[in-house]
Amino acid sequence: MLAAPINPSDINMIQGNYGLLPKLPAVGGNEGVGQVVAVGSSVTGVKPGDWVIPANAGLGTWRTEAVFSEEVLVGVPKDIPLPSAATLSVNPCTAYRMLVDFEQLQPGDCVIQNASNSGVGQAVIQIAAALGLRTINVVRDRPDIQKLTERLKNLGADHVITEEEIRKHEMKNFLKDVPQPRLALNCVGGKSSTELLRHLAPGGTMVTYGGMAKQPVIASVGLLIFKDLKLRGFWLSQWKKDHSPDQFKELILTLCNLIRRGQLTAPACSQVPLQDYQRALEASTQPFVSSKQILTM
């Protein structure tokens, strides 16, 4: 293994409240990049020196070495930055599929999301910009909100607003100049998701892929009846079960092309040696952390 990030879903898996739980004892980590050092005599898909990432969750990437069968790995090009390769198989894949699979969006259309500073949020901003889509990005208020707003706008965000601002009456005037979003991406739940629904265009879709507030999604009956909004869910592991390994490889190559063109960068990250994993785990669970912890081997 070369590098592996700490994602919220990794923490959920350790806590035992995730949709996929490995047999114990288990190694943590669902994402990362490794370099092949040796292969068995009948292996044809990879060779020593190749970079590989896990094809599925549950492999356990927080380790220095591993022996895997070639079916559970996907090769990635070595001409992309190491942090991009290490953070490729979960968040950017989730962002891309949600932008493409639920609404037939055209260039100029608008997407609204919460948790916009998360790994998925940052990938949504960049992939949407590459597809010609506009984004309204909701974040929690914080002391350095100006700095965060600038950073997200540098990634391609059209609008960055706080959870408090989106609830204000003036928001209606602000959003007059923006096409009503047909797609909302929800990683929070609770009041935050209710606000996303309020701003969706009639017939629009809200896709939920996380629940960081640990509160249910509350949709008013009026919004469902009079605006005919659709509530959907997305889980990358389920998408992989419903699609072939070749379709996942095609998705990875699409994202690698965006990385090469400078249209998709890794989230802001802090590289931490594997032996300091406790420090990295603690840092990853702090509120308002704008930097993803990446364990380096």
Catalytic center residues? 18
3-state secondary structure the chain: CCEEECCHHHHHHHHCCCCCCCCCCCCCCCCCEEECCCCCCCCCCCCCCCEEEECCCCCCCCCCCCCCCHHHEEEECCCCCHHHHHCCCCHHHHHHHHHHHCCCCCCCCEEEECCCCCHHHHHHHHHHHHCCCEEEEEECCCCCHHHHHHHHHHHCCCEEEEHHHHCCCCHHHHHHCCCCCCEEEECCEHHHHHHHHHHCCCCCEEEECCCCCCEEECCCHHHHHHHCCEEEECCHHHHHHHCCHHHHHHHHHHHHHHHHCCCCCCCCEEEEEHHHHHHHHHHHCCCCCCCEEEEEC
Closest CA to 142 of 167, 164, 119: 164
Q: How many other C-beta atoms can be found within 10 angstroms of the C-beta atom of residue 35?
A: 13
Structure-block tokens of residue 208: 């939920």
